Amino acid sequence: GSEEVVLRHLLVSGVGASGHKTGILLFSSERSLVQDSRVEGVMGNGIGVYARGPPENDAFRAVENRIVGNRVLRAGAAGISLATDFPVQAHRVRHNRVEGNRVERANFYSYDAAGIYTLFVGEGNRISDNVVLSGGSKTLRSAGIMLDVGTAPTRVSGNRLEGNSNGGVALTGPGHLLWDNNLVGNCAASWDCAQIVLFPVRENPGAVVEANRIEAKGGQKLVLKTANPRFPAVPSAFDRNRYRSRDPRPFCWSERPRCQDWLDFAAWQRLGFDRHSTYRLLASEGEPEQSPEQQGHDLGE
């Protein structure tokens, strides 16, 4: 129930040996600010924005908070988390901003979260201009940013996501916007994953993906979308992106829970995606890179 609290220039480390495991927690707080602080070596989330309470009581909200310019290093779970406990409470977490933070090596204890993670949250939350690096491992899945089940349409823009083990951005549910992000070298070979992953949980995923720079390294893919045929189809739009990959078949658009066929860029465009985007096939490790004219793969310019 706190309002308009300002936390600046804090150092929080070594949290979680006993008691609560989150470094800094805005617990049902409104219009509060966490800025220019450092959280490192905590067992749970680095910074959490969280609302709880009985479903019939809307007094417990996490609204219009800002998490700005912080550094989170070696969080056992998510680096920065926005969450409630149940879908009926999602509207309590809305219009929060996660901006200009740097998250490194998140999820070194937890499986299947992200450097910046949302779960059961409402409208108007924005995730922009953050850097998320090296989350997870070959045995612990961690996306750079994950919009998990029950996340209302969310804008993700201007972020740099690199070296995270379960993809750059992973999302479920409809209506998200991915715009002007840099995604490079995400995805460990332990799973089917890609720089952008759209996956079904309680509904099928959908997003507008535009003006991003997306690069897959050796053994990695660019876009992976799967779906549950029992749920209604959800539209997505991809355009004005710049793609680079070492794999010539880095795209998959499946209406089933598993990828059925990986596509090259020409086949991907025939599905109606990325009409004004470009794609470059990179040389394999140790080989000289060819020009686009030599490759014939720099399409759409």
pLDDT of residue 275: 97
pLDDT digits (tens, 9 = 90+) for 181-220: 999 999 998 888 999 999 999 999 999 999 999 999 999 9
pLDDT digits (tens, 9 = 90+) for 254-267: 999 999 899 999 99
Please list, in sequence order, all residues whose beta carbon lies within 8 angstroms of the beta carbon of residue 270, skipping any fewer than 6 positions away. none
Q: Among residues of the chain, what percentage have pLDDT more than 90?
A: 83
pLDDT digits (tens, 9 = 90+) for 46-85: 999 999 866 667 778 999 999 999 999 999 999 999 999 9
* C-alpha span between 160 and 213 (Å, rounded): 10
